[in-house]
Amino acid sequence: MMTTPDERQAVQQVLELERPLQAVEDCLTALGVALTRQDARAVDEVAAQLHAALAAAVDHFARAARSGGVPPRLRQRLAAASGQVAAQREALARATASLDRAMDVLMPVRAMPATSLYGALGNADRNGTSGGSLLA
């Protein structure tokens, strides 16, 4: 049984940190499901929720660190969640790069002449081949 105010404060601090950390973990799970299902709308929604949950968790953990520290178990869970975020970010970056390469193969970009000075509707497309003269 807790008898001292310090013990009660420690338990209260754990409870206050548990809620935002659990929200981050829940969002990470939901994001994993949305990515597996390839549900772009759900990915966008959950990513926004994850962003908000991470901001709240960081705020709570920063305040706890200033007022006496974070219990090691919760610190480990936050580090694990951070690792999951990094892994999902890297997986998305790889998927994006792969998609970009596929799009480049399917729809190559037409190169614009490097020496063109005016656009398609401009009068003087100077490409260095005309050998024109200067007019005053």
pLDDT tens readout for residues 5-16: 767 777 777 788
Mean pLDDT (whole number) for 31-42: 90
DSSP state of 129: -
Residue 109 has pLDDT above 80, yes or no: no
> Looking at residue 114, what is its pLDDT?
54
User: How many whole angstroms separate alpha carbon 116 and alpha carbon 22?
Assistant: 57
Domain ranges of the chain: 11-106
Phi, psi of 27, rounded to the nearest 5 degrees = -65, -40
pTM of whole model > 0.75? no
Cβ contact 113:92 at 8 Å: no
End-to-end C-alpha distance for the chain, whole angstroms: 97
